[in-house]
Amino acid sequence: AIRMTQSPSSFSASTGDRVTISCRASQGIFSYLAWYQQKPGGAPKLLIYAASTLQSGVPSRFSGSGSGTDFTLTISCLQSEDFATYYCQQYYSYPRTFGQGTKVEIK
Amino acid sequence: QVQLQESGPGLVKPSETLSLTCTVSGGSISSYYWTWIRQPPGKGLEWIGFIYYSGSTNYNPSLKSRVTISVDTSKNQFSLKLSSVTAADTAVYYCARVAVPYTDQDAFDIWGQGTMVTVSS
C-alpha cells in the first residue's frame, strides 16, 4: 500500500495567515491526489482533486500543487471557518490511502 | 443534488456482523462507483472498499476477509457487511461517491453524514 505522510500533524495559526500543509507519498502517484477538510463532528469535504483542481464551490484561497510524491495544500489567507483537520488521499492505486491528517488550530 | 444517508445499528456485539446501508437520493446509483470509509474515534480515515453499480467490488486487503459490499439498484442503495467485529471496528462509518462516472480513479465528492458504530457487549 502507498503510505501518505502529512506534515505537520498540527499547528496553530492566526486569521489572515498564509498556511501550507505538505503531503508525501511513499511512491509516485502522478497527480492522483485529493485534499479534504473535516470539521469536528462532520464528514470530510472535498477541496481539491487532481492535485491542483479546485472543487466547485470551494473558495479560491485554497490551492494545491505538486505531482509525483510531493504535494502541498495552501490556504492563502486563513479564515475562521478554515480551522479544521485536513487530509490528503491518493487514488492512484489500491488500496486507497489517506494521510494521517493535519489539524489547524487557532493561535 | 445527490445526497447520501447511512443507516444501521449503532451498537454491535463482538464477533457479530456489522451491517450498514447507504441510501442515494436526488440521483441515480447507476454509472458511479460507491465507497465505504471509516474513522475510529479521534483517528484518521480508512478506506474499506468500492462497489460499482454493476456489482463489481474492490476491498482493502486489511479487511478483505471480513468485508462484503453489495448494491441494490432498485432501491438506490448499497450496503456494507463486516463480520467477526471487535472493539477495533468501533468507528464512524461513511459512505461516499466517486466523483466521475464509470471510473473508480477519482476523488470522493459526496459523503454521507456518517454513522457511529460501537462494538461492545
For the stretch A41-58, pLDDT in tens is 999 999 999 999 999 999
B107 contacts in chain A (CB < 8 Å): 34, 46, 49-50, 55, 89, 91
B60 contacts in chain A (CB < 8 Å): 94-96
C-beta atoms of B45 and A1 within 8 A: no
Interface check A46 vs B, CB under 8 A:
yes
C-beta atoms of B47 and A96 within 8 A: yes
DSSP letter string, B21-76? EEEEESS-STT-EEEEEEE-TTS--EEEEEEETTS-EEE-TTTTTTEEEEEETTTT
For the stretch A47-86, pLDDT in tens is 999 999 999 999 999 999 999 999 999 999 999 999 999 9
Interface check A98 vs B, CB under 8 A:
yes
**CA–CA separation, B65 and A7 (whole Å):** 33
A45 contacts in chain B (CB < 8 Å): 111
Q: What is the pLDDT of residue A41?
A: 96
Residue written as grid cell 464528514? A43
Longest CA span, chain B: 41
B106 contacts in chain A (CB < 8 Å): 49, 91
Among B44, B105, B112, beta carbon nearest to A43: B112
* Banded pLDDT at A105 (limits 50, 70, 90): very high
Interface test with B, best of A91, A93, A98, A103 (most B CBs within 10 A): A91
Of all residues in chain A, the percent with pLDDT exceeding 90 is 98
Residue in B109, B111, B96, B119 with CA at minimum distance from that of residue B19: B119
A36 contacts in chain B (CB < 8 Å): 108
Q: What is the pLDDT of residue A63?
A: 98
Q: What is the mean pLDDT of each run of 10 residues along chain B (121 residues)?
A: 97 98 97 98 98 96 97 97 98 97 96 98 96
Q: What is the pLDDT of residue A69?
A: 98
**CA–CA separation, B2 and A97 (whole Å):** 25
Q: Give the residue on B whose Cα is nearest the Cα of A85.
A: B44
Rg over alpha carbons for chain A, rounded to the nearest Å, is 13
Q: Give the residue on A whose Cα is nearest the Cα of B45.
A: A98
Q: Give the residue on B whose Cα is nearest the Cα of A32.
A: B106
Q: What is the pLDDT of residue A94?
A: 97
For the stretch A87-101, pLDDT in tens is 999 999 999 999 999
Q: Are A12 and A102 in contact (CB under 8 A)?
A: no
* Banded pLDDT at A32 (limits 50, 70, 90): very high
* Banded pLDDT at A3 (limits 50, 70, 90): very high
